[in-house]
Structure 1
């Protein structure tokens, strides 16, 4: 069943641009799984928010959390290197990927129903409290628990295909063997105290070595959303993800 779910996700992402008459913006996704009763989910009420949901609060009888990373193609990443504002291409990719994730989760839900399993359809984003900017379901932390990658200094998840892309997840009562979590760090700063390019590239002075001002970051996201409103809701920035050793790969395995 693990292979079937992975193929389902990979095929959907591959075919989506043609079906929606979009430019192809995505590489093949990465897919991992975690046990819905993994004790790390309890820790998210401390690490993320006291209101962070447990899998079984989203779906009674939950067995598995499916987490996936959809990497952007290189031209999307390159488009966002210059300037203070996010590029049109990055904003478009952000908005379109959110729509893709919502459609993908609906598709997974329907396919699981055919097999007499249930799932909870989770939105790609905007499931957070705007006053405190904390989420009740963090796709990044869920992806970490599921073994998709490790957090970098930029607070993004560094996967085998880097950190430039979008994360999604879905909770199901289908029982799938959990993926293995790698114990090694992927971020150069965390392994050797070097790099810190993500901090240097933060255009609104929100990211520091030891501190992240989520409100300053959100101000920048809203500025970009206003500039790029023709592509949909694109409250994105991405400057701390692009032009980095970890943008498209795990840097500690690439000789950096």
Structure 2
């Protein structure tokens, strides 16, 4: 995966091949039947798809017909410093480079998903990238806002990649500015250690109350000491940032201000 990220042209801007979108991926493994996946049906929604369900759906099998042990390969794609630096100076909207990294970067993330699936299948293992399946979707809750029925960040937490933060972002050893991906497989992989003591233990605000930089960085007041108001955030994305995205000629994006010029931008601040 690291080699693919280095050589793939899709990990570079289409109009500037000298600019890489992501640094080397962080890769960890989870047990596909970790009890947390069942907990997510209570925490997120009953419709949240567990890895065994995704693999069985892809192969038109009952979950119990799959091998007794399945694994999840989770990766983090850290956004390069060159991109992060441009967004640090902004206070209301993302830069063109940040938006293009979000837009073209997810094309690369999908290519990486297909690459990993193809490699595993080519070696005789079952494999699926749940986000690329037809049953993956984004849903809307009137009280809490949008959510997906297979969350890459929540999968990353199970794999021990990091924890959530006050802004709802995911703080890894390389920080909060990144994209996530995963593949479910019948290949039996060693389970990575989950060192976090809780779902927010990498966030300084929850650790000792000493950091509130993401609150001050949010241009619409969607982040407070009570957490992240996804509905307010998404409204700002649609109304204010939507105009910017049309100018940048991209179909989706986020301002990313709570991921840059913050203590957890490129590291886990609790780890020192």
TM-score, normalised with respect to structure 1:
0.89
CA distance in 2, matches of 1:49, 1:84: 32
Aligned: 1:41 with 2:41: no
Change (3 A) 1:221 1:34: same
Q: Structure 2: which 5+ residue stretches go unaligned?
A: 57-65
State the Cα RMSD in Å.
2.0
Aligned: 1:228 with 2:227: no
Q: 2:268 aligns with which of 216, 238, 250?
A: 250
Q: Is the 8 A contact 1:70 1:165 kept in 2?
A: yes
Which residue of structure 2 lines up, in the alignment, with residue 11 of structure 1? 3
Q: Is the 8 A contact 1:224 1:234 kept in 2?
A: no
Aligned: 1:83 with 2:80: no
SS of the equivalent of 1:49 reads: coil
How big is the shift at 1:122? Answer: 3.2
Change (3 A) 1:18 1:199: closer
Which residue of structure 2 lines up, in the alignment, with residue 129 of structure 1? 139
Change (3 A) 1:67 1:28: same
CA distance in 2, matches of 1:228, 1:243: 21
Q: 1:213 aligns with which of 185, 209, 229?
A: 229
Q: Is the 8 A contact 1:225 1:236 kept in 2?
A: no
Which residue of structure 1 lines up, in the alignment, with residue 153 of structure 2? 140
Q: 1:203 aligns with which of 219, 222, 229?
A: 219
How big is the shift at 1:156? Answer: 1.0
Cα offsets for 1:199-244 (capped at 9, x unmatched): 1111111111113221111122234244223443232121111111
Which residue of structure 2 lines up, in the alignment, with residue 187 of structure 1? 203
Q: Is the 8 A contact 2:48 2:150 kept in 1?
A: yes
SS of the equivalent of 1:161 reads: coil
How big is the shift at 1:55? Answer: 0.8
SS of the equivalent of 2:76 reads: strand
Q: Is the 8 A contact 2:168 2:227 kept in 1?
A: no
Q: Is the 8 A contact 1:102 1:122 kept in 2?
A: no
Q: 1:94 aligns with which of 102, 121, 124?
A: 102
CA distance in 2, matches of 1:19, 1:93: 9
CA distance in 2, matches of 1:64, 1:249: 27
How big is the shift at 1:25? Answer: 2.2
Aligned: 1:32 with 2:28: yes
CA distance in 1, matches of 2:37, 2:31: 9
TM-score, normalised with respect to structure 2:
0.84
How big is the shift at 1:19? Answer: 7.7
CA distance in 2, matches of 1:152, 1:164: 12
Q: Structure 1: which 5+ residue stretches go unaligned?
A: 1-8
Which residue of structure 2 lines up, in the alignment, with residue 54 of structure 1? 50
Question: Which structure shows the bigger proportion of residues in strand conformation?
Answer: 2
CA distance in 2, matches of 1:220, 1:181: 35
